[in-house]
Amino acid sequence: MSKPKLISGDRNYSSSSLRVWLLLNEFEITFDETIIKLFQSDSVEKIAMFSPSLQLPVFIHDSIKVWDSLAICEYINETFLESRAWPQHARKKAVARSIANELHADFQHFKKDWPMNCQLKARMKNSSSTEKEIGRLDAIIYCCRNNFGDGGIYLFGQFSIADCMLAPIAVALNAYGANLSLLSKKYIQALLSNPNIEWWLEQAEKEVETELQNINWEKFA
Ligand SMILES: N[C@@H](CCC(=O)N[C@@H](CS)C(=O)NCC(=O)O)C(=O)O
| 160-204 pLDDT tens trace | 999 999 999 999 999 999 999 999 999 999 999 999 999 999 999
Does position 216 have pLDDT exceeding 90, yes or no?
no
- Residue 219 is predicted with a pLDDT of 46
* Residue closest to 176 by CA, chosen among 216, 122, 138, 113: 122
Does one domain contain both 142 and 120? yes
Overall domain count for the chain: 2
What is the pTM for the complete model shown?
0.95
- Residue 126 is predicted with a pLDDT of 83
Instruction: Assess if residue 146 is contained within a domain.
Output: yes
Q: In this structure, what CATH number is given to the domain that contains residue 122? A: 1.20.1050.10
Residue 97 and residue 185: Cα distance in Å, rounded? 22
The Å distance, Cα 110 to ligand 1 centre, comes to 15
Does one domain contain both 59 and 130? no
* Dihedral angle sign, alpha carbons of residues 101, 102, 108, 113: negative
| Closest ligand 1 atom number to CA of residue 13 | 10
Does one domain contain both 76 and 154? no
Q: In this structure, what CATH number is given to the domain that contains residue 13? A: 3.40.30.10
Does position 143 have pLDDT exceeding 70, yes or no?
yes
Does position 214 have pLDDT exceeding 70, yes or no?
no
Range of the domain at 99: 90-205
Q: Which of 17, 34, 35, 55 has most ligand 1 atoms within 8 Å of CB, for mutation?
A: 55
Instruction: Assess if residue 221 is contained within a domain.
Output: no
